[in-house]
Amino acid sequence: MYSKRIESFLKRKKLKIGDMVTVTKEGRKISGLLMPQTVSGNPDILVIKLVDNGYNIGVKMEAGAAVEKGKGTEPVLVEEEAEFELGKTKTSGKLKFSAGKPKISLISTGGTISSRVDYRTGGVYAVKDPGEFLYNIPELAKAVNIRKLVTPFTKMSEDMEPQDWKQIARAVARELNSGDRGVIVTHGTDFLHYTAAALSFFLRGLTKPVVLVGAQRSSDRGSSDAGMNLLCAAHTAVSDIAEVGVCMHGRIDDDYCLFTRGTHVRKMDTQRRDAFRPINEYPLAKVWPDGKIMVKNRKHKKRDDNGKVKPDLKFEPKVAMLKTYPGSDPDVINYYISRGFRGFVIEGSGLGHVPVQAKKNWTSIIKKHTKDGVPFVITPQTIYGRINTSVYTNLRILYKETGAIPGGDMLSEVALVKLGWALGHTKDPEKVREIMLTNYAEEITSRTLVGTFLY
């Protein structure tokens, strides 16, 4: 970002990003392409891409410095790049999917995976044409025919809200019901597992795969995980596993991806490509980029191409997630209630305990609000494992007398989405309880399989 001063100066000089310029300063001349300044750079420093070697350097604009539009032509290299550049008319339409391959659609919501760098300016923009994916991943054309690219919005996943889940669900349902074999949803990774959970509850009667996919390394580098993830997602989208799930790297190697159920997946690392791990359940399948699929969990719905999906989008966004910790004060619940919140997921300790000491007694506050019809769902903050309602006295009090709803082995994030979905359907506390205790998307397992820990 350039400062106002520089911006108006450039405007006066009729200079724009990408122009050849010559900066004269203290008797030195520097010629190159005018580049944008990044947010972290000095806004009063002009960034120039040197013609000879492609390096960028910064030149401070201060008294005695002059900038003129360069006379020379742009460097040859850059002109050639322009031909390869994505999103330009020259390339769009050159690469096409074949009509003979299974039809799928791609819902692009933003994030690393569906954005491209403009190498001239360094700017980032979203992919607009399905064919653009083929430049980096030509193998996609052998697996599927991405007949349509839908962009309901473009957002970083950390900015997403329940409203956005609804838009995605609508788009998915529309494309699936108009004959697609499956749908891929490209998504930022941070809150990807929330969207996965939401779609798992929203898409009722699903009979085809809905594959969420993201990338942990940007697609502008040779080492990006985007290519393999998308390719595996494409194979999954035309497979017989009719579930909502996340398809991302299975290991730190570029070997295979895991397709993991949308209600049993969580981002477990800030940056690793294999950050998305199955929790409390085996992944649905291992998927290799060459199309090989190894089913790891037979508990999945099978494809039925005649089925129609019915989106059920009723959702109450006024739900909150709280976490107990040493010294945690349940008084925050009163605050939330005063702000109109209607339901809570509380991450309890260990088996699902909450502090019961006199001064900071969570049980008494939970009890009071439960009586008023506010549901409290308790989930394990250990992430792995399931809560228990009876091995200790305090647990028996919490779940039997106080009326808290045991979340079983549901992930907190999944429980939060489910609670909003339940409250979207009914205000009756007993009905909410019933919904929370019922499996709608295999979100609660009945058996704890020991091999799933740290899978």
Binding of residue 73 to other proteins (CB under 8 A): no
Distance of CA 62 to the CA centre of its chain: 43
d(CA 394, CA 390): 8
Distance CA 366, CA 362 (A): 6
Q: At what angle do helices 192-202 and 162-177 cross, to 10 degrees?
A: 60
Residue tagged 């925050």 (tokens) = 332
263 binds other proteins per the rule CB under 8 A: no
- Residues sharing a CB contact under 8 Å with residue 86, sequence separation 6 or more, in sequence order: 116, 127, 132, 135
Binding of other proteins at residue 28 (CB under 8 A)?
Answer: yes
Q: Which stretch binds other proteins (CB under 8 A): 1-9, 140-148, 206-214, 249-257?
A: 249-257
> Which residue in the set 4, 12, 52, 72 belongs to the binding site for other proteins (CB under 8 A)?
52
Query: Which lies closer to other proteins via its Cβ, residue 221 or residue 299?
Result: 221
C-alpha span between 168 and 171 (Å, rounded): 5
CB of 64 to other proteins, least distance (A): 13
**Interface pick for other proteins out of 15, 21, 59, 284 (rule CB under 8 A):** 59
Cβ(375)–Cβ(432) below 8 Å: yes
Q: Counting contacts by CB under 8 A, is residue 54 touching other proteins?
A: yes
**Rounded to whole angstroms, how far apart are CA atoms 380 and 387?**
6
- Size of residue set near other proteins by CB under 8 A: 50
Ramachandran quadrant class, 125 (left: phi over 0; alpha: psi -120 to 50; beta: rest): beta
Q: Considering the complex, what minimum distance in angstroms separates the CB of residue 75 from other proteins?
A: 9
Instruction: For the segment 269-288, give every residue that binds other proteins (CB under 8 A).
Output: 271-273
Q: How far is the CB of 187 from other proteins (least distance, A)?
A: 20
Residue 114 as a binder of other proteins (CB under 8 A): the answer is no
> With CB under 8 A as the contact rule, which of the stretches 83-91, 174-182, 299-307, 439-447 interacts with other proteins?
83-91
* Catalytic residue check, 267: yes
Nearer Cβ to other proteins (82/397): 82
Residue from 19, 44, 129, 190 carrying the catalytic annotation: 190
In the window 173-212, what residues touch other proteins (CB under 8 A)?
Answer: none
Residue from the set 217, 264, 266, 386 that interacts with other proteins by CB under 8 A: 217
Residue 402: CB minimum distance to other proteins, A:
44
When asked if residue 220 is in the footprint of other proteins (CB under 8 A), the reply is yes
Q: Which of 162, 182, 188, 227 binds other proteins (CB under 8 A)?
A: 227
**Per CB under 8 A, 291 contacts other proteins:** no
- Active-site residue identified among 109, 112, 263, 402: 112
Per-residue CA distances from 7 to 31, 35, 45 (Å)? 19, 12, 11
Q: Is 189 a catalytic residue?
A: yes
- Interaction between residue 24 and other proteins (CB under 8 A): no
Question: Is residue 85 a contact point for other proteins (CB under 8 A)?
Answer: yes
Mind spelling out the 3-state secondary structure of 254-289? CCCEEEEECCCEEECCCCCCCCEEECCCCCCEEECC
Q: Which is nearer to other proteins, 199 or 231 (CB)?
A: 231
Query: C-beta of 58: minimal distance to other proteins in Å?
Result: 2
Question: C-alpha angle with apex 7: 6 to 11, nearest 5 degrees?
Answer: 115
Q: Are 116 and 127 in contact (CB under 8 A)?
A: yes
Structure tokens at 97: 């999917």
| Segments in 48-191 forming alpha helices (H) | 76-84, 131-136, 140-143, 162-177
User: Which among 189, 236, 260, 445 is annotated as catalytic?
Assistant: 189
Q: Is 190 a catalytic residue?
A: yes
Task: Spell out a b/e string for 201-219, using b for 16 or more CB atoms within 10 Å of the CB, else e.
Answer: bbbeebbbbbbbbbbbbbb
Minimum CB separation from other proteins for residue 168, in Å?
27
Residues 6+ apart with CB under 8 A from 299: 442
Closest CA to 310 of 181, 204, 185: 204
Q: Which of 249, 338, 327 is nearest to 287 (CA)?
A: 249
Among 8, 38, 364, 439, binds other proteins (CB under 8 A): 38
Window 131-170: contact mask with other proteins (x via CB under 8 A) = ----xxxx--------------------------------
Question: Contact between 47 and other proteins (CB under 8 A)?
Answer: yes
Read off the tokens for 118.
Answer: 């403009």
- Catalytic residue IDs: 112, 189-190, 267
Residues lying near other proteins in the complex (CB under 8 A) are found at 28, 35, 38, 40-42, 45, 47, 50, 52-60, 77, 80-81, 84-86, 91, 116-117, 119, 122, 135-138, 216-217, 219-224, 227-228, 252-255, 271-273
